[in-house]
Amino acid sequence: MLLVQKMYIKDLLWVLLVLSMGISIVFSIIGLIDKIDDFMPYNPPAALLFQYALLSIPKYIHYLLPMAILLSSLFIFSQAIRRREIVVIKATGGKMKRILTPFVIIGIMLTLLGFILGEIIVPVTSKKIHTITNKITGKGKGFAFKEGTLYMRGKDGSIVRIALYLPDKNISKGVSIFKFDVDGLKQRIDADIAEWEDNIWKLKKVTIFDMLSGKTNTIPQMDYTAIESQKIFQEDVWKVEEMTLLALMKYKNRLTEAGFKNIKLTVDISSRLSYPLINMFMLLLGISLSIGGAHQRIFKGISFLTSHSYGGIISAGLGLLISLIYWLGYSLFLSLGYAGSIPPVIAPWFVPTIFSVISAYLYSQIPE
């Protein structure tokens, strides 16, 4: 590897580390401040508040990594242009594509990093944040939720198992309620479906097993007040960010087998794959806009501005603008996917694909 390549890689990774960590720390502090009014009535210890802010950092790094990559590449290579280093490299016979090859590899590694953050680190830290929140507020309900199956303790002390919870429909399928006394299990209630109606769970197609008498009774419907409200389910149970891609896919398959179609879940699964992909192309885009090529025709004057004394400020502004356009477009198409206006599997791929094509084209046009 050439000395100049090592220098640019070192500078890029250093700036990327400082930017991503710095901005993420600021956002985590802002997030804690936003929650502080909810926490202060419970007089939380400072250690828990510190853990809450610390565990929030990986989530913000995951979301902000594309912007940090774009800003870092714009800054490093616009400074190289300003110092005439690129001119010197070309004058000595250096081939730009060869010089930039390691950065393509780095882009692929950053894409893998984004995927690892979203699939391994963020779900773990999100669960811990949820636990800390419940510990501070004392609102933990003792739920256990895995791939759509929910286990919980009812208000009357019973054990409740819900085979399949549908958060978007407020419906629970395969409900089993186990009631105990001092001698052990005294009654089991099975229901095909439980629907949240009139602020109460209504069990339908109910079978009641009386363990003491050995009798079985079947009724079409009964009200049951001992199961927590659907609001608690939504707030404390169903959190997509706490589930891995594999868990989401298994849950989606269970919904499909049960005859339910969850559009939002399909969009979320697809977005888990599409979002990290942009990391590599943001790096290529930043390099292309800094060094030159086709962008001189598309974005007239950018090279001139980034090569003069205010190049760092212009690069930062340009990076923020492009990141804002990306996030707005990405969020818009996610919303269209959630609404079913466009195919949910395709919705998260529109904006990343457009940016990827533009980035690859501009990179190919970098003059040797």
Q: What does each C-alpha distance from 210 to 164, 179, 331 come to in angstroms? A: 24, 10, 52
* Higher pLDDT, residue 277 or 227: 277
pLDDT band of 236, cuts 50, 70, 90? low
Share of the chain above pLDDT 70, in %: 84
Rg, the chain, Cα only: 27
**What is the C-alpha to C-alpha distance for residues 204 and 198, in angstroms, rounded to an integer?**
15
pLDDT per residue as tens digits for the range 132-165: 888 888 765 556 666 567 777 777 788 888 888 7
* Higher pLDDT, residue 232 or 366: 366
**CB-neighbour burial class of residue 223 (10 A; exposed 0-12, middle 13-18, buried 19+):** exposed
pLDDT for 27 beyond 80: yes
Closest by CA position to 115, among listed 244, 246, 276: 276
Cα angle for residues 321, 322, 327 (degrees, 5° grid): 100
**What is the C-alpha to C-alpha distance for residues 116 and 93, in angstroms, rounded to an integer?**
39
| CB-based contact 345:270 (threshold 8 Å) | yes
| CB-based contact 300:280 (threshold 8 Å) | no
pLDDT for 68 beyond 70: yes
Residue 181 confidence (pLDDT): 83
| Interacting residues of 331 by C-beta distance below 8 A, sequence separation 6+ | none
Structure tokens at 138: 């004392």
Residue 299 confidence (pLDDT): 44
Residue extents of the structural domains in the chain: 3-138+263-364, 144-236
Residue 318 confidence (pLDDT): 77
Mean pLDDT, residues 179-198: 86
Residue 306 confidence (pLDDT): 47
Residue 295 confidence (pLDDT): 43
Number of H helices, E strands in the chain: 12, 7
pLDDT band of 348, cuts 50, 70, 90? very high
pLDDT per residue as tens digits for the range 88-145: 676 666 677 788 888 999 999 999 999 999 999 999 998 899 888 888 887 655 566 6
Mean pLDDT, residues 206-229: 86
pLDDT for 304 beyond 60: no
Residue 160 confidence (pLDDT): 86
pLDDT for 293 beyond 50: no
Q: In the beta sheet, which residues pair with residue 165?
A: 172
User: CB atoms < 10 A from the CB of 108, how many?
Assistant: 13
Structure tokens at 144: 């256990």
Residue 292 confidence (pLDDT): 64
Q: Which of 50-64, 84-98, 313-327, 333-347 has the lowest mean pLDDT?
A: 84-98
| Interacting residues of 351 by C-beta distance below 8 A, sequence separation 6+ | 326, 329, 330, 333
pTM of the model: 0.77
